[in-house]
Amino acid sequence: MRLLLKILMVIGLTIAILVPLLMIRGTIQDRQMYRREAVQTVARSSAGAQALSGPVLMVPYTELVEVEEKDNQGFTRKVRREESGIWMFFPETLEAKGTMKPIVRKIGLHQVRKYEFATKLHAEFQVTVPGDADALAPRKIGQPYLSYAIADVRGVVGLQTLTINGKDVELLQGPGSGDGGGLHARLPVTVAGGAIVLDSQLDFTLEGTESLAIAPLAKRNIITIDSPWPHPLFNGDFLPRKRTIDDKGFHAEWEISSLATNAQAQYLGGSRVPGMAPAGSVDAANNAETVSGLDAIGVSLVEPVNIYSQADRASKYGILFVLLTFVGFFMFELIKQLRIHPIQYGLVGLALAIFFLLLVALSEHMEFGKAYLVASGACIGLLGYYVSHVLRSWLRGFGFAAMLCTLYGALYGLLISEDNAMVLGAGLLFLILAAIMVVTRKIDWYSVGTTNPPPLPRG
């Protein structure tokens, strides 16, 4: 009966420790929210996640169309009305070469990664404007223009230079038509059936926060991005064909055919820029790919270690830590006939829970690995000292501390090796269960808990 009560007590205390563990997880999530708010603050004051598409050649026109309508007497008759529209032509080739220069802004404890993308967009057009459908009602061709769509036009910094067929052309604000931000340039007026041959190059610098997306709208798209940032995340709809990443930064190259993307159809359907998640949003924090809009390549300058996601993952193992520690205590009570008070169980459980709070607090001021070492060392030292008195032996306290070292070491291995986390976790649980079974293999559970339990067999 006493054994059953002790088991129930251990289970109850384990469940009770869930309360501070859940509170600590709530604190971690609050810190993540503050991090996202810091990113949003930077994005509001400058430019957010950037997306770029274009150039696209726009040719407005007006034509007479024959429509049927009813007069006042209800009779249907055919009338001619003017109807306006815009023909959209995409480049034959698009070459985008640029360098992402990372800029770290700090708000309080949080670092926000911005960048300046200095690029050259070279596009070639070979277009024939449609001829008149009706010689008796010729179309009126408006002034053509090149349109560049930009997600956050506030990010356009410095001087911008656009050359078309070797001549400098003035850039104007806005994409030229429709909603959204961007730039456009007016071209010479053409006629129905006329040919337009353009060799354009736009040199400009685009500032953004954390992520960049470029839509491949040409028949053949070649995009090259270099950066000294050594921790890129390639997302979007296409991965680079070639890439190198080292301590000096990264180099990435994409080559995309219009046959491999729906970007042109999406543009004709009304989308203008890749729909990347806004900077600071939950999707952006999770490095989400495009959420709507045009197909695109994507690059994000991510942190080498996201301390909050790592701490959150670690806290998920908190109940396992508490349970294994309590099982260890229970084994000492069972085998060495030591009496451990429920308050002592509770204090040890709280010390284990405090580790995760220490980990978050310290990792905001130092590297995650160092913070983990300091927090785990502090908790292991405290528990080793306390347990040596509870178990009435420095040797037992040292053994308990060694067990905690193994647990914390295994947890760190799980955190830094996401790909192998499942196999490492399963292997650890198997070894722990095997150790418990080996230690208790000769215990007569029917006699445990009686007033004078028989001595344990040796050998």
pLDDT at res. 254? 95
pLDDT at res. 336? 67
Low-confidence ranges of the chain (pLDDT < 50): 276-291, 453-454, 456-459
Distance CA 229, CA 211 (A): 12
pTM of the model: 0.71
**Segments making up each domain of the chain, as ranges:** 2-36+308-439, 48-67+77-303
58 in Cβ contact with 176 (< 8 Å): yes
13 in Cβ contact with 326 (< 8 Å): yes
pLDDT at res. 398? 85
pLDDT digits (tens, 9 = 90+) for 251-300: 999 999 999 999 999 998 888 888 644 444 444 444 334 345 789 999 99
Return the beta strands (E) in 165-275 as ranges: 167-169, 172-173, 181-186, 195-209, 211-214, 220-227, 232-236, 242-246, 249-257, 274-275
pLDDT at res. 448? 61
pLDDT at res. 176? 73
pLDDT digits (tens, 9 = 90+) for 393-425: 888 788 888 888 888 887 777 777 666 666 776
pLDDT at res. 369? 83
pLDDT digits (tens, 9 = 90+) for 16-63: 777 877 787 777 777 777 777 776 776 677 788 899 998 999 999 888
pLDDT at res. 70? 75
Distance CA 366, CA 376 (A): 14
pLDDT at res. 459? 44
pLDDT at res. 284? 42
